[in-house]
Structure 1
């Protein structure tokens, strides 16, 4: 587990992560999305193990 002692290190690490993700080198599956208004249902589905991969709430 990495530890960032200073805020600047945290920001640099986050920037590096987002650079890799936005470049397309890292791919991840978003298997389901829910509108923000259905957050309670999203939680129920997560708790009931009805989801796989990433779940995204949309504004």
Structure 2
């Protein structure tokens, strides 16, 4: 299954998360020119990871 960026907006809560600088740069490169924020990318990446982890459990 491919990871596809979406520009969805949802109700949110703030959380502080530290990222390695190289990962920040890679994410910023990936979203350049796309209609998605850094936070939106992270949320979608986490959802994608969780959905695929659940599939692997079964």
TM-score by length of 2: 0.35
Structure holding more helix per residue: 2
Higher relative contact order (CA 8 A, sep 6+): 2
Structure holding more strand per residue: 1
Question: Greater CA radius of gyration, 1 or 2?
Answer: 1
